[in-house]
A = this chain, B = another copy of it.
Amino acid sequence: MRAWLPAWLSHYRRDWLAGDVVAGVVVTLLLVPQGLAYALVAGLPPAVGLYASLPPLLLYGLIGKSHAQSVGPMALTSLLAAATLARLAEPGSGEYLALAVWLALLSGAMLIALGLARLGFLADFLSLPVLSGFTSASALLIVLSQLAPLLGLHAQGASLPVLLMGLLEGLGRIDTAALAFGGAALLWLAGARRALPPALARTAPALAVLAALLAVRQAGWEGRLPVVGPVPSGLPSLALPVLPWGRLGELMLPAFFMALINYVQSLSVAQLLAAPRRERVEPDRELLALGVCNVGAGLFGGFPVTGGLTRSLVNAAAGANSQLASWVAAAGIALVLLFAGDALASLPLAVLAAIIVAAVAPSIRFGVLRQAWRADRADAVAFALTFALVLLLGVESGIVVGVLVSLGAWQWRSSRPHMAEVGRLPGTQHYRNVARFTAETLPGVLFLRVDESLYFGNARLVRDAVLERLSERPELTTLVLIMSAVNRLDVSAVAMLEWLDDSLAARGVTLALAEVKGPVAAVLARAGLLERFAGRHYLSTHEAWERFAAAPEFHI
C-alpha cells in the first residue's frame, strides 16, 4: 500500500502541515487571477485557465519530485500557444479551443516519451542567451498584447507588427472605464511590490480582483466595459474534442517545440527550488511529471501548462514543505470553480491585463546581453537575433534561428582552433604558450599544442597551419604535436594525421605525439596509427622534451 503513495506522503511530518496549508491558500489567491489572465493571453475563454489549473496541481503532487514546484498556466506558454493556434483557427471558435486542448495532450505525450527515452538533454541545446533573448522578447510581446485590453480594445496577434497595427487602429476607440480600472490596478500592483512586505505583496493581485469586482458591482458598470463573462459553475469534466487527423499533424511540430520550452522552464524552476535544500533534480523524472500534468490538463479541457517561476517561489516562500501545498491549492481552485464562478463574471478584463503586465514586465531583461557582449560576442549575437526575430517574425521562428546561430557559432569556432607553440617554464616540468610566458625552447624542435578536438571541420586547417609553420622555419627537424586538449578524433582527422606524417617524412621532419588521451589513443589504435607512431608517442610533453634535449641530432 505504502509503495503506491508518493514518497513525500509516506513520510509526511505533522509539522509540515501549517506551512503547506498557508502556501496552498496563497497560491490559490495568485493562481485564480493568473489562470484567468493567461487563458486570455492564449486567446481562450478565461474559465479555461481555471480548468487547466486543477489537474496539474493534483498530478504533480502525485508524481512530481520538487516540493514547491507549482505547475499550471504560464504567460510564455500561453503566448506560444496563441502563436501556434492563431495560425490554425479563428480565435474564439470551437476549433481553436479543440486545438488548444490537443496541443496540451500532444506536448504532454511528447514530454512523457522524451522522459522515457531519456532525451531530456535535447533541452540543453537552448543556450542561455537564446533562452534569455526569447524570454525577454516574449515578455515584451505579452506586455504589448495586454495594452489592448488595458485600453478596452480588442486585438490579437503574436508578433510585433500585428500587435502595433492593432493598437494603432484602435487608438480612437479607447474605453476610458477600462483604462481607469486597468491603470488603477497597475498602480496598485506596482506600489504593492515596492511598499508592502513580501508576504502581503503576493496577495496583491487577488486584492485587485476583489476590489475591482466590488467597484463594478457598486457602480453598476457590468455592461459598460469588457469583462470576463460567464464562468460556468462546476468542476471540469473529462472530455476529448474530436479533431481530423490532418489537424493533429499540423500540431506535431509546435507541440514538440512547446514541450521543449515548457520542459526547460519547468526544469530550471525545479533546480532553483532544489538548490537551497540540496535536493537532487532528476531531469527525466521532471519530464515525465510535466508530461502527465499536460495530458491531465488537456483531458479536462485545459491548455498547455508548465512550472511557473513566480508562483513556485511564492509557494516556497509562503512555507510549502511538500507537494501537499499543491493539493491544498487544487482544493482552493475547485472551491472557486464550484462557488465563485458567477462572482468572477463581472471582473473587468483590464484588471487581468494589468496583472499580466505587472507579472511579466520584470522578465524583460538585458543583463545576459551585457554579460554575453563582454564574454562572448557570438552569444551576444544569438541573444540579439533571437530577441529581434521573436519580436518581428514570431516566437517559433525566433527561437529556431537563435538555436541554429548558437550551434553554428560553436561549430564555426571549433573549425578555427587556437594553436600555440609551447616551451618549458625554466627549471620546471611545465610547458606553456611561448607567446604568453617566458619559456625555453629546444633548437630544431617545435612543440605545438592544438587547442581543439580534431575532426573534419578543422582537419585541413590544422594541417595547413602546421605546414605553414614548418615552411617558415626550415631549420626544424622535429614537430611534437601536444594532444592534451584533443578530446576526440574522427576518421577525417585520422586520415589527416596519416597524410601529415607522410608529408613531413618526405621533408625530413619527424612527427611525434605527446599527451594523447585515452579515448583518442583508442581511436588511433583502432585505425592502426599507434603502430605507425610507435616510438614517437610520448606520455607527457616533458618526456618528449627530455628525449629530444638528450639527443637532438638523432630522430627516429
User: A residues touching B (Cβ–Cβ < 8 Å)?
Assistant: 121, 124-130, 275-276, 278, 280, 283, 368, 371-372, 374-376, 378-379, 406-407, 410-411, 413-418, 420, 429-430, 433, 436, 451-453, 455-461, 464, 467, 471, 484-485, 487-492, 494-495, 499, 502-503, 506-507, 517-519, 523, 526-527, 539-540, 542
Considering the chains assembled together, what is the distance between the CA atoms of A212 and B341 in angstroms?
94
Q: Distance in Å from the Cβ of A117 to the closest Cβ of chain B? A: 14
Please name 19 further chain A to chain B contacts, defined as beta carbons within 8 Å, in addition to the given A128-B491, A280-B471, A411-B411, sorted by A numbering: A124-B415, A124-B457, A126-B456, A127-B457, A127-B492, A275-B502, A276-B506, A278-B506, A371-B494, A371-B527, A374-B527, A375-B490, A378-B490, A406-B456, A407-B457, A414-B453, A420-B518, A430-B539, A436-B518
- CA gap between A130 and B443 in the complex, in Å: 41
Question: In the complex the two chains form, what is the Cα distance from A128 to B458 in whole Å?
Answer: 12
Identify A418's interface contact among B416, B519, B527, CB under 8 A: B519
Contact A488 B413 (CB under 8 A): yes
B487 touching A484 by the CB < 8 A rule? no
- Majority secondary structure of chain A interface residues (helix, strand, loop or mixed): helix
A432 CB, min distance to chain B CBs, angstroms: 8
**Contact present for B492 and A129 (CB under 8 Å):** yes
A317 to B455, CA, bound (A): 32
Instruction: Tell me if B129 and A527 are in contact (CB < 8 A).
Output: no
* C-alpha spacing A467/B127, complex, angstroms: 21
Residue of B nearest to A452 (CB): B487
Contacts of A491 in B (CB 8 A): 127-129, 368, 371-372, 375-376, 379
CB distance from A530 to the nearest CB of B (A): 12
Q: Residue on B with the closest CB to A127?
A: B456
List, sorted by A's number, 13 A–B pairs whose CB atoms are closer than 8 Å.
A121-B460, A124-B458, A124-B459, A129-B492, A371-B527, A374-B527, A375-B489, A376-B490, A407-B457, A418-B487, A429-B429, A484-B484, A484-B485
Q: Which of B280, B410, B455, B495 contacts A455 (CB 8 A)?
A: B410
The copy count of this chain in the complex is: 2
The smallest beta-carbon distance between A542 and chain B, in angstroms, is 8
Contact between A490 and B410, CB atoms less than 8 A apart = yes
- Complex contact B128–A492 (CB within 8 A): yes
Which residue of chain B has the shortest Cβ distance to A493 in the bound complex?
A: B128
Most buried by B among A406, A433, A492, A507: A492
Residues of B within 8 A of A283 (CB): 460, 464
Q: Please determine whether B128 and A495 come into contact, CB atoms closer than 8 angstroms.
A: yes
Complex: A506 Cα to B278 Cα, angstroms: 9
Say how far A423's CB is from chain B's closest CB, in angstroms. 14
Chain B residues contacting A378 (CB-CB under 8 Å) are: 490
B contact residues around A527 at 8 Å (CB):
371, 374-375
Give complex CA distance A519, B452 in Å. 12
A429 contacts across to B, CB distance below 8 A:
429-430, 542
Report B-chain residues with C-beta under 8 Å of the C-beta of A127.
Answer: 455-457, 490-492
Residue in chain B with minimal CB distance to A449: B517
With a cutoff of 8 Å between Cβ atoms, the chain B residues found around residue A430 in the complex are 429, 539-540, 542
Residue of B nearest to A539 (CB): B430
Residue in chain B with minimal CB distance to A375: B527
Knowing A125-B457, A278-B507, A418-B519 are in contact, say whether A487-B485 is a contact too (CB < 8 A).
yes
- Complexed CA–CA distance, A523 and B276 (Å): 28
Among the interface residues A130, A414, A436, which one has the most CB atoms of the partner chain B within 10 A? A414
The distance in angstroms between the C-alpha atoms of A275 and B507, with both chains bound, is: 10
Residues on the B chain within 8 Å of A492, using CB? 127-129, 379
For the complex formed, measure the closest distance between the CB of A70 and the CB atoms of chain B, giving whole angstroms: 22
Contacts of A410 in B (CB 8 A): 411, 455-457, 490
Closest 6 pairs (CB-CB, A-B): A127-B456, A128-B492, A379-B491, A375-B527, A451-B487, A374-B526
Alpha-carbon distance between A460 and B414 when the two chains are bound, in angstroms = 20
